[in-house]
Amino acid sequence: MGDYIDLRPILRQMQDIQMQLSNEIDTVDVRVKEVDGNVKIINSKVEQLAEDFDNFVNMQTKANRLGQAETRLVKIRQELEKKYGHYDLVRRTTTGILQANDLGLVKKSTITNASEELMISTPGYWLAPCLVALAAWINDQRDLAYKALAEGIRRDDEKTSLFLALVCRRAGRKHASLQWVQRYLAAQDEENLNRNAVVILDAYASGLLGTDTEGTVSKQIDTWMGHLTAKPGFVEQQTKQWSDAINLKRTPITGDEGYRYLSRYSHTWPALKEVMEGARLHATILDYFNGIFAQKSSTDEVKAQLDEILTSLVTDFDDEELPLRRKERFEQFVVDYQGDEAKAKSSMTVEKTALEEHKDFTQLLTDSAMKPQVSHANPSTQKFAIALSRDWIRDAYNDIIAKNRAAVPHNIEINVDTFNYSTVDGSNEQETLQRFNALIDHEMNDALIALAMTPFEKFMLPGAIGLGVIALIGFVVGGGGLLLGVLCAIAGIFCGVKYYSANKREKEGQSRIRSDYETKRSEGTQIIRAMLAEVVDYRREFAKQDAQSAQVLAFIDSITPEQYVRKMPNSTRKVRVTTVPAAKA
């Protein structure tokens, strides 16, 4: 008994060491979790910062381009004013002389003096000699009228012919008016028409040229149409031409449009959005056509309508101004789109044909019908252009309908986090949720397995017990075995702490994983159900919108060109203007 050694102090020290190691390991574990959380937060903030920076750069670029466009607009308009501003005075004076002559409030000598001054101040401008000729007619100066007229024809034969056709018709000289019209049309190429041809189309469709008893205009239109339709590939060209023009009326879907979950959680959304835009086009086109044909026309204000067309001719169709007008239009688009140059270019491309100096007759009809703001066509011309192009419009519209229906996705993808499945009409909710839950269970099980202790960590517990037994034996034996006992005791404590830490990490991790995946299951189930409900709504809305295509086709079939070319009764207006027959080419 004399050899008895008190091991209790050593055991207490070992317990203290064990508790200290355990606390330090817990502290390290907490710190590691904090660092991991901080890293995730930093990554999230970095991503948000990058996104915010990109947005800032984009906004700043647009803001800079907006300021640039506003500055350029001022310069372009100043250049227009400098180069062509004096034309405005001639234009205003032309209409003013016509109206003043109607009222009889201005002396003829004043009209003559005004026209002569403008002739001197605007050299080279085609309208100036026409204004002198107009004043000469009013003063019954036949020789001067012919001389001025010859100069106007020399400067611009086409515009002078158009101008005189409208002035003669305004004065009630229908025969002379049709002669000028015939002169103008005879010089035209149906495949390379001057943009001014829309003026004659306006006047003809509005009935302002009177009854075309000799078929001067109608025969020319028939001839043009015959030549164009005989060209190879004409039908295909018209289908594309009208398809492009009709598709300009599509209204883009910019937000989720009531499909919050589909737009966010379905890779099919871009295609769904595209075909829904195509389906909604039917109502837009129907409203557009109805709006045109619902406008009532009247012949009560013939002079007002002629003055409007005359203003269009002298104001909007000067080819030398077109390069600057195009620049002005583009910069205005940039301003309208708040500096977004891509959208401005897209809109400019759309209007390109309407701003071209020459185009074929069918393109003229298309632009008159679908781009009236740019082509300056009045409602009567729009009606006539649509009616005359009815068959081409029907073919193009059927093509649009067929392409849009063919593009409708059969399967709509459901993409919620790592879950990817599909539905046709939203009726497979039970099957979809079963697959989703199976995926959640599978992923959770994989995560739990990945978190489980390694074989080495599991071996720590029996290892600690074994080392503890050896240590106890060493302490009992004493002598040289005491050192071995101490070493085994320390190793055993380490193994025990290692096992305890790993076991604790596994249990806490399992609890966290189960909680996270149950949250994912709950939120995912809610999202999937909402998506399937939106699929049902989407299919229903598409069917409803698509069905309106039948109304559009029925409307197109109901119109004919003859309905929309107005015939005016013989004019009894008493305007004393000398008739000037059309000069020979």
Secondary structure class of 258 (helix, strand, coil)? coil
Domain boundary among 357, 381, 408: 408
- The Cα–Cα gap between 311 and 59 comes to 41
How many other C-beta atoms can be found within 10 angstroms of the C-beta atom of residue 52?
A: 11
If asked whether residues 284 and 393 sit together in one domain, one would say yes
If asked whether residues 376 and 479 sit together in one domain, one would say no
Domain boundary among 408, 424, 450: 408
Residue 316, C-beta contacts closer than 8 angstroms, at least 6 positions apart: 376
CA separation, residue 139 to residues 100, 134, 171 (Å): 14, 9, 14
> Does 380 reside within a domain?
yes
**Segments of 22-107 assigned E as strands:** none
If asked whether residues 378 and 429 sit together in one domain, one would say no
Domain span holding position 531:
411-558
3-state DSSP: the chain helix, strand, coil percent, rounded to 5? 75, 0, 20
End-to-end, the C-alpha distance of the chain in Å comes to 145
**Domain tally, the chain:** 2
If asked whether residues 259 and 347 sit together in one domain, one would say yes
Q: What is the pLDDT along the chain (585 residues), one digit of tens a residue?
A: 445 455 566 656 666 666 666 666 666 666 666 666 566 667 666 767 777 777 778 788 888 888 888 888 888 888 877 776 667 777 778 778 877 777 777 788 888 888 888 888 888 888 889 889 888 888 888 889 889 989 988 988 888 888 888 888 877 787 888 888 888 888 888 888 876 677 777 777 777 776 666 677 788 888 888 888 888 888 888 888 899 889 988 888 877 788 999 999 999 999 999 999 999 999 999 999 999 888 876 555 555 666 676 766 666 556 676 777 778 888 888 888 888 888 777 777 656 555 555 678 888 888 888 887 766 677 878 888 888 888 899 999 999 999 999 999 999 999 998 899 999 999 999 999 999 999 999 988 888 887 777 776 666 777 777 777 777 777 666 666 767 777 777 777 777 777 777 777 777 777 888 888 889 999 999 999 999 999 999 999 999 999 999 999 999 998 876 666 554 334 332 333 333 334 333
Please tell me the pTM assigned to this model. 0.63
If asked whether residues 395 and 491 sit together in one domain, one would say no
> Does 432 reside within a domain?
yes
Residue 54, C-beta contacts closer than 8 angstroms, at least 6 positions apart: none
If asked whether residues 394 and 419 sit together in one domain, one would say no
If asked whether residues 392 and 434 sit together in one domain, one would say no
> Does 452 reside within a domain?
yes
If asked whether residues 396 and 437 sit together in one domain, one would say no
Q: C-alpha angle 342/344/350, rounded to 5°?
A: 110
